[in-house]
Chains A and B, each alone.
Chain A
């Protein structure tokens, strides 16, 4: 048993951190969050060319480096720490895993090298305007018209859906219900019949779009109608990935709080010497460390692709959803008035914490999922 990162993994973390501190300071986050695209294409290219971040977990036969989910977790944790504005989660976590899980060899060969090279930005469209993404909630219809598949319906809350040039769509074969008939397709971002509307997001650091499909011609990804298992696994992997990203943000708000508590003086002493503040920070550390244990363990299960993945995915997402939001909220309280200003970064993390908490299901949702999966 060994629950620690290897020296190589620590080195990878150091390199990514160095890059992100240079490329994604708060000033850049604030510049990009005001744009519709929400990312810097030059930095995106550098991520691919200098660090190979987009190709990290893609197998070598599809143009990637073949690293495991543990390394992906490290990258995401570092991105979450600085609130990187980039279509990384959508492209590398959601779409890439959907393709790896659902696609056949030819489809992977066609789609993954472009992602690995940083040329393709991809999104996974699964949630519908009703806010549901479970099997029963997926209603966007796929119809086979003379050997050609056509999509009709609407997806919403699609992360980076307006900037992606490749969209993986989770649809339902017309006339099916529940888990039977779930089908994955790919469409180009500029496909005829597809209308993309950027949404005004509460968390401006992560962009979303509504996608209306009106007779959009689509290419099957895997066997249409057999997509549920691949989609379900993608969601578990995404929950683990998001948990790792979130814990990076949680560590950052803890660091901000502790730093401020050491220097802010009231009543003639640093506020961190008061137990009221000290104990808040201690509780935050407990949550951050516990969250890391869960996130890292879940990443290892995802890397091993073992039977524990569905359970630990729900477990990690449940715990870290609560922990990150709690820490981000306490960070504002510890900072007092300055923490409520637009100028201070506390609100950026607060909003990211809430959007990440809700995305893919909040803690209550994942505890119920967990209850089902462990047989309560």
Chain B
């Protein structure tokens, strides 16, 4: 047990810190801390910033070296995230590509597929979106009905996806489709890679309770993709999709806890400014959230040490996902309470525009739903970690 940097880790930290100090300037620095993976504020500048990161090898940090990565250890990834947060650098735009698709591609893709897609993710030339949920496949994801049929050397795709975050920004979509006629449940699914810029795809924005529309409905009406644009074996898409969800619940959220620490400090500052911090009950609540965000850090460090030893994300990642989403939701509720009567008004009501704390208050309601609702995480924890019997079906 040792929380100090090793000499190699300290050197890596110094390199990251130095690079950020040299490059995070002017318009990039001005965007400090703005946005999130589902928040488009400052999008174009953030994308330029990410291109700069990519050009210097800071995108795809964990990828193998022969695929353009640095083969960074989990500890180095954490160090990068820590320094990135410390420098207050802009939120990243390529969460779905770099964070979800790339690790799945590295695990399941052919060399040819990796050569085709990874460089474009690193250069931020291609952004991705996630085609999982459907109107009748939410928590029951295996009930996917979107179908793909081979027509010569192309898949023809028909169906509908929903809650597709930033589909309107994406160049590509990884789509879970039913490719075996008459199959049911998790059998007969395939993980297809589909170009979003084609006539067979229609994207309709879905306005959220926050007033903005980062997510969408995506309609596939005879959309096409080449026969070899499938990740993993045809009909075995479920295990590929589960791996993606594992990354989404595990490593992809390393940076989240650091953003939460910043939000925590912002709320403490707000409470001191408006006097709420003098209220004994609110002080207690704030301290309770502080306990929560620090434990999130310690949990993450324990999970990373474990992952460094086993090399894989286990079902324990569900504990982390359940924890941070529940914490953030409660934190958002306190945030508005701290605002008091000021919480009754927002920045602008036409269009409906929220301040940061209101955005947390509302946005966090999605977090206990996406990437597997809290109830699903509890099932996974109960059945796969604790070994409790499955519900009879």
Contact = CB atoms under 8 A, between A and B. Distances in A.
A4 B304 CA distance: 10
A277 B386 CA distance: 12
Nearest to A5: B1
B375 A262 contact: no
Contact of B302 (A4, A278, A315): A4
B305 A293 contact: no
Nearest to A306: B3
Interface stretch (B148-156, B157-165, B231-239, B276-284): B276-284
Nearest to B296: A290
A294 interface: yes
B276 to A, nearest CB: 10
Interface in B279-306: 280, 283-284, 286-288, 290-291, 294-295, 298-299, 301-302, 304-306
Interface residues of B, number: 49
Which of A5, A282, A286, A293: most chain B Cβ within 10 A?
A282
Interface in B286-333: 286-288, 290-291, 294-295, 298-299, 301-302, 304-306, 309, 316, 319, 322-323
A227 to B, nearest CB: 28
B378 A282 contact: yes
Nearest to B385: A285
Nearest to A70: B1
Interface in A131-183: none
Nearest to B383: A278
Contacts of B378: 275, 278-279, 282-283
Interface in A328-376: 364, 367-368, 370-371, 374-376
Contacts of A289: 299, 302, 316, 319
A282 B377 contact: yes
Contacts of B305: 1-4
Contact of A368 (B280, B306, B379): B280
Nearest to B294: A315
B298 A294 contact: yes
A258 interface: yes
A193 interface: no
B7 interface: no
A318 B323 CA distance: 17
A286 B287 contact: no
Interface in A248-282: 258, 261-262, 269-270, 272-275, 277-279, 281-282
Contact of A258 (B2, B288, B298, B388): B388
A3 B304 contact: yes
A228 interface: no
Contacts of A286: 319, 322-323, 381
B199 interface: no
Nearest to A315: B291
A300 interface: yes
Contacts of B309: 4
A50 interface: no
B324 to A, nearest CB: 11
A253 to B, nearest CB: 13
B1 A285 contact: no
B70 to A, nearest CB: 17
A282 B287 contact: no
A363 B299 CA distance: 20
Contact of B298 (A297, A370, A376): A297
Contacts of B306: 4
Contact of A3 (B284, B301, B379): B301
A3 B306 CA distance: 8
A262 B387 contact: yes
B382 interface: yes
A27 interface: no
Given A1-B9, A371-B287, A374-B268, 17 more contacts: A3-B1, A3-B298, A70-B1, A261-B388, A269-B389, A270-B389, A275-B379, A278-B379, A278-B388, A279-B382, A281-B382, A285-B386, A289-B302, A293-B299, A293-B302, A376-B283, A376-B287
6 contacts: A262-B388, A273-B389, A293-B295, A376-B283, A376-B287, A376-B290
